[in-house]
Structure 1
Amino acid sequence: MNLLVVIPARAGSTRLPCKPLRLIAGRTLLHRTIAMARAAIAGRAGVGLIVATDDEAIADHARMAGCDAVMTDSAIATGSGRALAAALSLPQAPRFVVNLQGDSPFQPEGALAAVIAALEAGAEVATPVIALDWASLDALRDHKTRSPFSGTTCVRGVDGQALWFSKAIIPAIRDEERLRAAAPLSPVWRHVGLYGYRLDVLQRFEACPPTALENLEGLEQLRLLELGIRIMTVAVDPPRFDSSGIDTEADIARVERLIAAHGDPTPDL
C-alpha cells in the first residue's frame, strides 16, 4: 500500500459527546465521512481506507458500514496522532498518510485527489483551501458569531505554501468596500479539514510536544509551521454547499437545513 487514508474518530468530544455516531439528517457523521472517502478514492490503486478510534461502538459502526477499523490508544490527543498509530499498526507502513478528519464529511469534490497529487509531487504536507467569495465570507462571519471556534482560515504565499492558519478570520481587510467592487473573490481562504503527510514528516511532527500557539488556537497544523515544516496548500472548488467541521449542536442544525434546501451531497455506500 502506497497511501493510507485514515478517518480518526474518537468518542471523547467535550462539545459534542460521541460525535462520530451523531445523526445528521438520518445518517451518522462517521457513515457520511466513510461514504465520502470511499467515493473519492474509488478506482485508485495502492490506496487503503481505515477508521482509527478509541471506542468499540465506533469501530463496530465503521465495520457495519464496510470500512476497516483499528483501535488506538485513548490517550492520543490529535487526529494526526491517531492517523500515525493506524499507519504503524499495519504489517507494512505506507509511504503517505492522509488524515481525513471525521467531523468534516462534506469535503469539496477533488480535494483528496489534489492532496495526493501534491504529495506525489514532493510536498512534505499538503492540505486543501477554498477561496471565499464575498457572500461566503459574510456567511462565515455570521457563523462565527454563534460558533467562534468552528471554521479555520489560512494565509498562503504566492507559491501556495501556508504562512498561517487561524480560527479567526485572517487576513484583516483594509478598504473592503473597494475590494468588493473590484473582484468577486475575497482575499480570505478557508481551510478544509484534510491533511496529507509523508510518513517520516508525520513521525517527526508526532515526536514533538504541542506548541503554545497550537494550544491557543486549537490547531495542530501550527506545530508543523513552528517546526519549520512546509505545508503546501492546494486550491479546490467549493463543495455543493459551504460547511465547516461539525463541532456543536448548532453546526448539526445548520447542515440539516442546508441538506433540506439543497439536497444531500453524501453518496450512498
Structure 2
Amino acid sequence: MTDRAVIIVPARFASSRFPGKPLATLRGADGVVRPLIERSWRAAMAVPGIDRVVVATDDARIADVAHGFGAEVVMTPESCRNGTERCAAALAVLGERPDVVINLQGDAPLTPAGLVSALLDRMRAEPDLPVCTPALPCTATMLEALVADQAEGRVGGTTVVFDRRHDALYFSKRVIPHVAPERIAQAPGAVHLHAGLYAYRPDALADYAATPPSAIEELEGLEQLRFLDAGIRVGLAVCPMPAWDLIELNNPGDAPMIEAIMAAHGLA
C-alpha cells in the first residue's frame, strides 16, 4: 500500500521585505495573471501521488483568495516563526495523520514536481527517515557565482554538506565546503545547493514545534538547522539541477525574473 502524502503550502501575509507577498501576481506563459499563492498551489497540485494539498495561512485575505481558486485552507497562528512551524500547526488541526507531510513553500512557484517526487521516493524507501530535503550539485559556473556573491557580502543561496549516506551534516548561507579558487574548475559537484522544500514524518514535525529555536538556526537564519541541533536526521535527495533556476519570490524585483523563466519554459 502506498504511503499517504499531504502537501502543505505555508503562506503568511506579514513580510518585512514584501508585505502581502502571497497575493502578488505573476503572469504565466499563457498570458494569464494569477496570485503567487495560486501558482505555488498549482505546483503542488501537479505532483503525482499526493492525496491532499492544503494552503496554511494566518491571514483572512490569503484564505479568501485561496478559497476563490478552489484550494483547501487551514488557518494557523500568526506566531509561527517559519514554514516548518506553520506546517506543524496545520497538521495539528487537519484531522488526519499522513505518512509524509511535504512543505512546498508559498513563495516557490517554480518548484518542479520531480523534486517533490524525489523526496517521497527516499522517504518511502526509508520508513525511519524523519526529514528529507533536496540537494542540487553546482556546476563550476554556479560555484564561481556563489563565491563571488560571498566575496561581495551577498547571500547567493544556501549550501549543504552531507555524509556518505546522504544525510545532512550542516546547512549554511556561506559556501560549504570551502573550495580554493584555483580548484573551482576541477571540483564540479563538490558544492551542493539546498532547495527550500521538505518532507517530514508527523512525529518529526511535532518534535520540531516543541523544540525552541537553536542558536545556529537563529545565527544562520535557516529553519532546518533546528532539526540537526536536536539530533534529528535530515536526509538529502541529491537531484540534478532543474531546467530552470528555482527563484523564490522574496522581493518585488524577483517577479520579472520568475515571469521570464515561466515564459521561456512554457509554464502557464
Say if 1:108 and 1:240, in contact at 8 Å, map to a contact too: no
Most deviating of 11-20 and 128-137: 128-137
Q: CA deviation at 1:229?
A: 0.6
Residue aligned with 1:98, SS = strand
The aligned residue for residue 119 of structure 1 is 123
CA distance in 2, matches of 1:147, 1:20: 28
- Find 1:103's aligned residue among 103, 107, 112: 107
Count of residue pairs the alignment pairs up: 259
Indicate yes or no: 2:94 matched with 1:90: yes
Residue aligned with 2:132, SS = strand
CA distance in 1, matches of 2:144, 2:69: 37
Most deviating of 142-151 and 99-108: 142-151
The aligned residue for residue 187 of structure 1 is 190
CA distance in 2, matches of 1:63, 1:145: 45
Which amino acid counterpart does residue 72 of structure 1 have in structure 2? T
CA distance in 2, matches of 1:145, 1:11: 33
Q: CA deviation at 1:125?
A: 0.5
The aligned residue for residue 60 of structure 1 is 64
Which amino acid counterpart does residue 151 of structure 1 have in structure 2? G
Residue aligned with 1:225, SS = helix
Indicate yes or no: 2:42 matched with 1:35: yes
Which amino acid counterpart does residue 19 of structure 2 have in structure 1? P
Which amino acid counterpart does residue 225 of structure 1 have in structure 2? L
5+ residue gaps, structure 1, are none
Q: CA deviation at 1:225?
A: 0.4
CA distance in 1, matches of 2:199, 2:192: 18
Residue aligned with 2:161, SS = strand
Query: Deviating runs (4+, > 6 A) in structure 1?
Result: 143-147
Residue aligned with 1:89, SS = helix
CA RMSD, Structure 1 to Structure 2 (Å): 2.2
CA distance in 1, matches of 2:142, 2:24: 26
Distance 1:187 1:76, change over 3 A: same
Superposed CA deviations along residues 98-139 of structure 1, whole A, max 9, x for unmatched, are 111111221244111111122222211000111111122334
The aligned residue for residue 249 of structure 1 is 252
Say if 2:131 and 2:200, in contact at 8 Å, map to a contact too: yes
Residue aligned with 1:40, SS = coil
Residue aligned with 1:119, SS = helix
CA distance in 2, matches of 1:171, 1:71: 40
The aligned residue for residue 228 of structure 1 is 231
CA distance in 2, matches of 1:5, 1:20: 17
Say if 1:51 and 1:67, in contact at 8 Å, map to a contact too: yes
Say if 1:107 and 1:239, in contact at 8 Å, map to a contact too: no
- Percent identity between the two aligned chains: 36
- With structure 1 as the length reference, what TM-score do the two structures score? 0.87
Which amino acid counterpart does residue 39 of structure 1 have in structure 2? A
- With structure 2 as the length reference, what TM-score do the two structures score? 0.88
Distance 1:58 1:141, change over 3 A: farther
Q: CA deviation at 1:28?
A: 2.1
CA distance in 2, matches of 1:78, 1:212: 15
Distance 1:23 1:258, change over 3 A: same
5+ residue gaps, structure 2, are 28-32
Which amino acid counterpart does residue 167 of structure 2 have in structure 1? Q
CA distance in 2, matches of 1:106, 1:205: 27
CA distance in 1, matches of 2:150, 2:25: 23
